[in-house]
Structures are given as C-alpha cells and as structure tokens.
Structure 1
Amino acid sequence: MDKFDRRILACLQADATLAVADIAQRVGLSATPCWRRIQKLEAAGVITKRVALLDPEKLNVGVTVFVSVRTSEHDMAWLQRFAEGVASISEVVELYRMSGDVDYLLRIQVPDIAAYDAVYKRLIGLARLQDVSSSFAMERIKSTTELPLAYIADK
C-alpha cells in the first residue's frame, strides 16, 4: 500500500459517496487508475463495506449503554450460543470478547432505560452469565468510524 492508497482510503472513510473522479482529483491520479486501486482494495478485503451512518437521536435510539459481561463458562458451545443470541438482538450494535476482568463488552443503542431493561432481560436469557454490569453514556465526546491510516507500511 502506498501514499495513493492511503489517500484513497482517507477519502472513502470521510465520504464513501464521492465519485471516483472526485477521489482521483483529491489524491492526484486519473480516474481509471484510481478506480483500479479501489477495486484492488476491495478485493484484498481492506475495504469491507460502504455504508451510510445514521443519527441515533433522529432514529430514537440516542441512549448508548455499555454492558460488561462476565461468565464462568469458557467453552465453544457457550460462546456460540451467546454470540448467536447477541447477534439476534438488533439493539446490540457491537460485541467484543475482551481480555482482563471482563469477558465480553457490548454497545447497545436504545431510546430509554425501559427499552434497555427489555434488552437486558433478553440478554440474561441467552446463556448462563456470572455478572452483567451496565454503564449509560452521559455524553458522546468523540465518535468516528475513521480508522487511523498512519500505521500502514509503505510498499
């Protein structure tokens, strides 16, 4: 990956709706080589998806809840049951397996505490959990989907 690829990725992270001609102009290439590079980045799995980012407040899911889960079970059958169950809960927008004191961390988007309580009840019904701890975000200070590109090794 070279400086052109990094610039293309920066453009697409900022606005995936940009026309290839606009991206090409911004990165200093003509349209055809720019399009070929984008196709290569997609084929290589660097670009995994192009999406629209939605405003949670305008969709009435402006309450962000971070949920820490601990379990005393650490086998594949438990993990598969838990992961598949969590995947079926649309309010859970992120799920991570963690190191340290917490086994799993979830980010949940809901309209209010009552809606979170309903999600909580579904969550505890999925699999045996040792501890579930919820923290409500008071304010979103920084939120981005743009990944840092400074760590990409030059060709």
Structure 2
Amino acid sequence: MWNIDDADRRILNALQRDAAQSLDQLGETVGLSRNACWRRVRALEDAGVIAARVALLDPAKLGLGLTVFMQIRTNAHAPDWLAKFSTATRSMPEVLGVYRMTGDLDYLIRARVADMADYDRLYQRLIKKVPLSDVSASFVMEEIKETTHLPL
C-alpha cells in the first residue's frame, strides 16, 4: 500500500474527476505549483497508484444499453479450467469484469451488451469456450449509482 498524504489525496480526487485537465488546472485545483503536481503525479504513476488515465464513455450512446450480471457455477476447479475460463472471458470485449466469489456462486461476470439477442450471442460464445455447470443472468433495470471514483 502506498502511503498518500493530503496533497496526493487532493491530486488523486481531482484526477478521478477529470484526468485530462492540464497541470496548471490541477495545480490551481489542489493548491500546488505546476511542477509540484507534475512530480507528485509522476511518483504516483511510477508507484502504480495511478494505473491508467482513460476516457469514460456513455454505453447507451454507443448502443450498449443493457448491463448484465452473469452468475456462474462450475464443477471444475482445477487450474487448467481456470486458465481456460480466464482466457475466454478476457477475449470477450463485452465482458467488463470477472470476479471469483465466495458462497454458492463461483464467478460473477459483469458485461455490457446491446440487447437480449446480443446477450444470447455472448452466452453462446462463452459456453462454447469453457464448460460451465450453471449460468444465470440478471439484467439491470436502472443504474442507481455507477462510478469509478474511489473513496480517498
């Protein structure tokens, strides 16, 4: 864990809101000089605290208006099955997140698709690539909160 001070915290919060802002804007926002911001941002990047700077897109405007959570159960827990499952899910651009879970569920997949037919195509591709015991899906009716902003 990287030990961040208040200035780093202000920088990280500002960058989470807008990573495209100039160093001058960032410095003004966080109360530091441009050069001090640059040094701190570089140190945070070098330490891996800042993993990437990306543009967040509106999925609905791109025809990907349906979020689906796929609940996966499997009878296979061998390392080779997991490697195959990991390779399969990483190769599917619709899949935004894959999580190994505790409890009754083995894996949870979060995906973005255009519609039910698009989900079915995703499902068919997945079951062709890796054997699964059970797949059920829940579709998001309303996004109440969706953020990438980490609490600092």
TM range (shorter): over 0.9
Question: Counterparts of 1:78 and 1:55 in 2: how far apart (Å)?
Answer: 34
Instruction: Name the counterpart of 1:148.
Output: 151
Length, aligned pairs only: 149
Per-residue deviation, 1:10: 0.2
Instruction: Name the counterpart of 1:13.
Output: 16
> AA paired with 1:87?
R
Per-residue deviation, 1:25: 1.2
Per-residue deviation, 1:128: 1.6
Q: Secondary structure at the match of 2:112?
A: strand
Which of the numbers 29, 36, 40 marks the counterpart of 1:37? 40
Higher relative contact order (CA 8 A, sep 6+): 1
Residue 74 of structure 2 is aligned to residue 71 of structure 1? yes
Matches within 5 A, 1:1-155: 1-149=4-152
> AA paired with 2:63?
N
Structure 2, unaligned runs of 5 or more: none
Structure with more of its chain in helix, by fraction: 2
Q: Secondary structure at the match of 1:125?
A: helix
Per-residue deviation, 1:7: 0.3
The percentage of aligned residue pairs carrying the same residue is: 53
4+ residue runs of structure 1 moved beyond 4 angstroms?
none
If the length of structure 1 is used for normalisation, what is the TM-score? 0.94
> AA paired with 2:96?
V
If the length of structure 2 is used for normalisation, what is the TM-score? 0.96
